[in-house]
């Protein structure tokens, strides 16, 4: 036989498929910036990208699929929490990142959260993303323990959630504005509570 005789898909890394994907994801970002998540429709992405509707439906299936792919394509695998040398500083940096991601216009995070209430696909992408972030953030607690700032039996998950949950709650659920100072406040509160031995197992 002269052609490929295995059943695996043929990779064409620099080919049309890759260009189409890049064009479409770029269009998703553009449209999101221009008209927000509510107006992010397959039609609009097709028009803006120059790729036909049918292709987008076939490859991504839905708006949620587009967002998931965008999230995946932009996944920062090298992300690490900042190291300021003190627990409070580290937590403040963490909360600022969270706040900025949610306040930013347009907010990709906000869009994915909204999408996660519509399709299981987006919900899973989001939970695994957050899961990963919380695990990576544990190093902040580890360092604080090593420095002797907080008890060695501090529950990292509880502390981290106590720190960031108020930010998400305020911005996503209560939908009220939150200043950077208020986000800092939440981080300082969590650090103070941890020093006061609140989050021990």
In Å, what is the CA distance from 73 to each residue of 68, 77, 181? 9, 10, 32
Rounded to a whole number of angstroms, the minimum distance from the CB of residue 58 to DNA is: 6
Verify binding: residue 133, its own copies, rule CB under 8 A: no
| Interacting residues with DNA (CB under 7 A) | 2-4, 9-17, 19-21, 41-43, 50-55, 57-59, 61-63
Q: φ and ψ at 119, to 5 degrees?
A: -130, 145
- Determine the size of the site formed for its own copies (CB under 8 A): 31
Verify binding: residue 86, its own copies, rule CB under 8 A: no
- Specify burial of residue 58 (Cβ count, 10 A radius: 0-12, 13-18, 19+): exposed
Contact 30, 39 (CB under 8 A): no
Verify binding: residue 172, its own copies, rule CB under 8 A: yes
Verify binding: residue 101, its own copies, rule CB under 8 A: no
**How many Å apart are CA 156 and CA 55, to the nearest integer?**
45
Q: φ and ψ at 97, to 5 degrees?
A: -60, -45
The binder of its own copies chosen from 26, 103, 145, 165 (CB under 8 A)? 165
CA angle in degrees (0–180, nearest 5) for 65-68-72? 140
58 binds, among its own copies, DNA, none (CB under 5 to 8 A by kind): DNA
Give the range of 12-20, 51-59, 70-78, 173-181 binding its own copies by CB under 8 A.
Answer: 173-181
Answer positive or negative: Cα dihedral of 108, 111, 117, 118: negative
Contact set with its own copies (CB under 8 A): 113-114, 116-118, 123, 127, 130-131, 158, 161-162, 164-166, 168-170, 172-176, 185-186, 189, 192-193, 196, 198-199
């Amino acid at each position: 036989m002269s052609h490929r005789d295995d059943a695996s898909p043929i990779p064409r890394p620099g080919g049309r498929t890759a260009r189409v994907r890049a064009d479409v994801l770029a269009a998703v970002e553009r449209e999101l910036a221009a008209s927000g998540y509510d107006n992010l429709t397959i039609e609009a992405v097709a028009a803006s990208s120059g790729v036909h509707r049918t292709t987008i439906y076939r490859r991504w299936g839905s708006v949620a699929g587009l967002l998931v792919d965008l999230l995946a394509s932009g996944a920062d695998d090298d992300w690490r929490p900042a190291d300021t040398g003190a627990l409070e500083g580290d937590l403040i940096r963490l909360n600022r990142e969270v706040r900025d991601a949610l306040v930013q216009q347009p907010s990709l995070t906000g869009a994915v959260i909204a999408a996660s209430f519509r399709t299981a696909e987006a919900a899973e992408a989001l939970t695994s993303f957050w899961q990963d972030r919380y695990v990576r953030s544990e190093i902040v607690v580890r360092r604080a323990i090593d420095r002797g700032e907080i008890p060695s039996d501090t529950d990292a998950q509880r502390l981290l959630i106590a720190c960031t949950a108020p930010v998400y709650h305020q911005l996503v659920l209560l939908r009220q504005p939150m200043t950077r100072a208020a986000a800092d406040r939440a981080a300082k509160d969590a650090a103070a509570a941890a020093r006061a031995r609140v989050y021990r197992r």
